[in-house]
Structure 1
C-alpha cells in the first residue's frame, strides 16, 4: 500500500499524455493507491479489476453511482441491485439483442453509416472522427428512439457534457454545473416525447421502452428518460471513440489492416483487440460495503474504488506482450468478447456488463465494413500520427485519411 505522492498521479499532465507508461508502474509497484484529491482507492491489476466487476462478493457495489451518475441521468439501471436490477434489465435488454437488433435496428445502422460515408466518398479525403465517428452512433440512437436527427448538435452537446461530468476527477465546478444543466435540459426535451409515445406508440425503441412490462412492472416516465440519457451518453461516447481507435490502430499496423480488408470476419477481432489495447473507457468506479483484500493491501469498508480498465487490459500477468496491438493474439477470444464472459474488461463484467455491447458490435462491424468498401486504399494523411486524448474516456481526436474514390483510377484518382 502506498500514497499518490509516491506513485503516478492520474490527475497529472504526464499521466494524461501517456497513461500506459504510468499503468505499468502502478501494476508492478503500486497495485493499490490511495488518491487523496479523489478520495478514492485505485486498483490497476487485471485480477483486482475483474473481481470488482464480477461482483460475486456482496462487498463490491455500484452505490457510487448515486453521486456519480444520478445527478446527471437520474436513477439508472447501473446503480440498482437484486430483483430491482434484474427486472429493469429484463425490461430494456430485449431491444439490444437477437431478432430485435437484427431485424429492426440493423437497417437503421446500415442506413446511417451509408448516409455519412456518402458525404465524403467522392472527395478522396476524410477525418474519420469529425466526418464519421462523432455522428454515427448518436444518429443511430436518435433513429432507434424515433427522435429528430436534426437535433444532433444538442444530443452531442448533452452527451459530451455528461461524459465530462463523469470524468470530472478534479471536481471542476464549471463541469459540474454544465452536467446538472444537461439533466434539466434533457428532461425538458424528453419527457413530453415520452408522454406522447405512451399515448401514440410507434415502432421505435422509445415506444417499446414505454410499453415494456415484466412481472407487472413497467418503467415510469423518469425511468425511461434516465435510460435514454444513459444510452445516449454511453452509446455515443464509447462507440465514437471505438471506431476512431480501430482505424488508428489498424492504419498503424498495415499488415493487420490488409488482413481485415481481405477477410471482413476479422473486424470482430480488430474490435475486441481495440477494446483491450485502447479501450474507450479507461476507468470505472465501484464502492465496497466491507473491508476487501486486493493486491497490495486492504480497502476499507465504505470506500470508493477507481478500477483502471486501461491498466488491467494491458496486464502482463494476463496477456502476452500486452503493449502490442495484435488482432490474432491467442489470449483474447473474439467469439465471447461482447458477452459477460469477455476476456477483456472494457464492457465491465458480471450483472452490470454493458447492455449495449451487441449494439456496439453491430455498429462497429457495419461501419468498418462500409468504410473499407468506400476506401479500399485507405491511408493516414501524410505525416500524421493519431494521438489519444482524455483520462476517464480516451481516444484519438482526429484520424485524417486519404483514399482513391471507388471508380476513379490513374492520375486523376491519385491526385485526390
Structure 2
C-alpha cells in the first residue's frame, strides 16, 4: 500500500482557532479542516470511504471528537485487542471472560435450535416479513429464559451473554449478506457445513461493533508513530476488517474466502461467542428449511447505518419466494 504519511508520523488535531495540526515528528501535519475525525467526517451510510482514508493517510491520528487515538490498520487493531499493554476494554471472548468460559451444554444448544425453528415457521406463510423485527430480535432472547431456570447444565452466565443487541445486529448483518448474494446462499443451502465460514466472513465485512475502546498502559509503537502511555485508543474494527493489506478484495462478501479472519468476537470458549455462532447456524438452517424460496423483497433495500454500532434496521423478505 502506498501510504501518504510516512511510518513514524502520528498526527493530532489542531488547537482551537484552526492553527496547524501538531505531529509526533518535525513534519508539519495538515490543517484541522482536513483531519478525518471519526464522528464528524464519517458517513453513517458509508463509513468505509472514511476508513480507507484513515488506513492510507492517517494510520495514527488523535480524534478530539471522542478524545482518543484512532487505529485503523488490521495489524495495529489486532495487536491492540490482544496486547496486555492495552487495557480497559472488552469483547466477548476477551480475557475477562475466564470466569465463565466453558462449552455450552447440549440443553442450551437445543433451546437455540428450537427457538429458531419456531420463529421461522411463524413467518413462513406470509407474503412479506421483516427478519430484523420478527427473527433477529427474538432469537438471541431464547437463552434468557434458560439462564433463569437454575437447573444443572442450563445456566449460561457472564456479562457477554447479556449483550443481546450485539448478537441481534450481528445476526441481522449475516442474514442480509447471504440474502444479498443468491449464488452464495445457494451454496450454503447445498453445503450447510459452510455456514460457520459465512458467519465469520460476515463479521469481518460487516461487524456489529465498529469501534472498540482501549487504554494504553505504556507507550506503544504502532503504524504511524507512538501511542502515549495513559492514552485512550479507538480500535476501528470496521476499518481493520476491510484492510487490503490483510484481505484480498476486502469489500467482497465471500463464504469461500481463503484469507478469513474477524475481530468482533475474541478467541476462546466464551458462551456469547458460541451462542452467536449457533444462532447464525441454526437461524439460517431454520429459515431455509421453513422457506426454501426465501429471498429479499422487491423494492428499496435499507442499508446498514451507524458509526459505533452498525446493522440493517429492517430486512424485508418474501418467505414464499
For this structure pair, what is the TM-score category when the shorter chain's length is used for normalisation? Answer: 0.7 to 0.9
1:38 aligns with 2:66: yes
Corresponding residue for 2:55?
27
Question: What SS does the corresponding residue of 1:293 show, helix, strand or coil?
Answer: strand
CA contact (8 A) 1:108 1:143 kept: no
Q: CA deviation at 1:204?
A: 6.1
Corresponding residue for 2:140?
137
CA distance in 1, matches of 2:184, 2:220: 42
1:116 aligns with 2:128: no
Q: CA deviation at 1:3?
A: 3.6
Corresponding residue for 1:60?
86
CA distance in 1, matches of 2:175, 2:36: 29
Q: CA deviation at 1:243?
A: 1.9
* Uncovered stretches (5+) of structure 2, i.e. residues with no partner: 1-9, 14-31
Report the number of matched residues.
293
Q: CA deviation at 1:363?
A: 1.4
CA contact (8 A) 2:93 2:273 kept: no
CA distance in 2, matches of 1:373, 1:239: 22
Q: TM-score, normalization: structure 1?
A: 0.65
Q: 1:265 aligns with which of 171, 193, 201?
A: 193
Corresponding residue for 2:28?
none
1:93 aligns with 2:83: no
In the superposition, relative to structure 1, how do residues 146 and 15 fare at CA in structure 2: closer, same or farther (>3 Å)? same
CA distance in 1, matches of 2:187, 2:308: 32
Q: CA deviation at 1:381?
A: 1.1
Corresponding residue for 1:345?
263
CA distance in 1, matches of 2:151, 2:275: 21
* Uncovered stretches (5+) of structure 1, i.e. residues with no partner: 70-75, 148-200, 210-226, 333-342, 405-413
Q: 1:231 aligns with which of 145, 157, 161?
A: 161
Corresponding residue for 1:223?
none
Corresponding residue for 1:255?
183
Q: CA deviation at 1:108?
A: 0.6
CA contact (8 A) 1:145 1:204 kept: no
Q: TM-score, normalization: structure 2?
A: 0.84
CA contact (8 A) 1:10 1:16 kept: no
Trace 1:16-415 onto structure 2 (pairs within 5 A).
16-55=44-83, 58-62=84-88, 85=96, 89=98, 91-94=99-102, 97=103, 100-101=104-105, 103-138=106-141, 140-146=142-148, 201-203=150-152, 205-206=154-155, 227-228=158-159, 230-233=160-163, 236-332=164-260, 343-348=261-266, 355-404=271-320
Structure 1 runs of 4+ aligned residues shifted over 4 Å read none
Q: CA deviation at 1:15?
A: 2.5
Question: What SS does the corresponding residue of 1:287 show, helix, strand or coil?
Answer: strand
Question: What SS does the corresponding residue of 1:305 show, helix, strand or coil?
Answer: strand
More helix as a share of residues: 1
CA contact (8 A) 2:55 2:239 kept: yes
CA distance in 1, matches of 2:93, 2:251: 34
In the superposition, relative to structure 1, how do residues 42 and 14 fare at CA in structure 2: closer, same or farther (>3 Å)? closer
